[in-house]
Amino acid sequence: MARSDIFNSFYAMPPPLRIGLLLYPHCMPAGLLAFSDLLHAANRRAGRAVFELRYVSLQPAEVVCQQGLSLHATHALEKTALDAVLVPGFWAESATQIEDVLGASAALIRALAMFGRSKRLWGYCTGVCLLAASGKLNGQPATVTWWAAEAMERHYGKVRWQVERSCIVNTRTATASGVSGYLPIAQELIKQHVSDEALHDLITLMVLPRPAPTHEAFRAMSLMEQASPMLRRLHDLVGRLPAESITVTCLAEALGMSARTLARKVVGETGVTIAEYARRVKLNQVSERLVLTSMPVSTISADLGFSSDSNMRRMFKVLTSMTPVEFRRKYSRQS
């Protein structure tokens, strides 16, 4: 019996997550190498192959990257069985240069556009621009390096840009700003597919930046930390709606269930009412903008659709025991 249990548990292990590290002419590959090292360390920490990484390009070939470094893509993007692809950035100093690179990358953009809906696409730095051009970010919350934000918002208006955030992870896409944007994506993957404890060990072992502190009221409010697909859909829906227009009825209709069923499921999975859950999602958005931007509190309140600035401030203090100004002073990453 013991022998059978051992073999049953062995065969029950999930298959590795197959990730393609995308190479294309003049891409910046340093983040891909670091990403690969992090996930290799996560495999060693887990004692098994949780992640399987391959260098991919339009065709298997030597690819000349930024600064003349050549790397070998062993697999063709469109012919390789992959669960996800990580798209690195390219060197650009202006919106015009971004447009030039996108124009020269038409074949790659078409290949990304053809990527199956069941597969995931992640991008960081200017790599996000390639994903936006492919249409794969349409209807999705996404972020991008701040100086490219205006051009991206102008050309790709179907994307729900939230550029005040440094990393946004959705079910099928992930975007992060800056040349080190691979790091929060890797950290989320390790948390999701290995464990929080494993990530903590790797942060210590590899001397990674420690996660920024946050208030205890918001520690379980990220989209990635929602316990079920239903909660992730609800979280995303609440995040997109103006606070003033959120009702149990409209949420239930959007999720295809009765208001009573939705209310029962939310209480069962979170221990709080749906009204309280929605309030925390919206106030978490307030907290993110307080921390990541210098936007006036009244502007944040209006942008997120609260009925009044004073009402938002009152709810925020009830939840955190701090005013928005006090919260910004304590947690801001802008100073």
Q: Which amino acid does the sequence have at 195?
A: S
pLDDT for the residue numbered 225: 66
pLDDT for the residue numbered 226: 72
Residue with tokens 């983040």: 31
Q: Which two tokens stand for residue 148?
A: 């490219």
- 154 with 164: CB under 8 angstroms? no
- 251 with 238: CB under 8 angstroms? yes
Residues 18, 227: Cα–Cα separation, whole Å: 23
- Indicate if 216-331 has the same CATH topology as 2-202: no
3-state secondary structure (DSSP) of residue 175: strand
Tell me which long-range contacts 57-61 makes (C-beta under 8 A, separation of at least 24).
57/22, 57/23, 57/24, 58/24, 58/107, 58/108, 58/111
Q: At the topology level of CATH, where does 2-202 sit?
A: Rossmann fold (3.40.50)
Residues 97, 310: Cα–Cα separation, whole Å: 44
Domain map of the chain by residue range?
2-202, 216-331
pLDDT for the residue numbered 209: 65
- Count CA within 13 A, CB hemisphere, residue 185: 34
15: DSSP letter:
P
pLDDT for the residue numbered 221: 74
Q: Which amino acid does the sequence have at 188?
A: E
Q: In terms of Cα–Cα distance, which of 180, 173, 172, 176 is closest to 162?
A: 176
- Count CA within 13 A, CB hemisphere, residue 24: 24
- CATH superfamily, domain at 216-331: Homeodomain-like (1.10.10.60)
Q: What is the pLDDT along the chain (335 residues), one digit of tens a residue?
A: 444 454 444 445 789 999 999 999 999 999 999 999 999 999 998 889 999 999 999 999 999 999 899 999 999 999 999 999 999 999 998 999 999 999 999 999 999 999 888 899 999 999 999 999 999 999 999 999 888 988 999 999 999 998 878 899 999 999 999 999 999 999 999 988 998 788 878 887 776 665 566 788 887 776 656 778 888 889 889 988 999 999 999 999 999 999 999 999 999 988 899 999 999 999 999 998 888 778 899 999 999 999 999 999 999 999 999 999 999 988 875 44
pLDDT for the residue numbered 200: 78
Q: What is the 3-state secondary structure (H, E, C) of 61-99?
A: EEEECHHHCEEEECEEHHHCCCCEEEECCECCCCHHHHH
pLDDT for the residue numbered 102: 96
- 43 with 198: CB under 8 angstroms? no
By CB atoms closer than 10 A (0-12, 13-18, 19+), residue 20 is buried
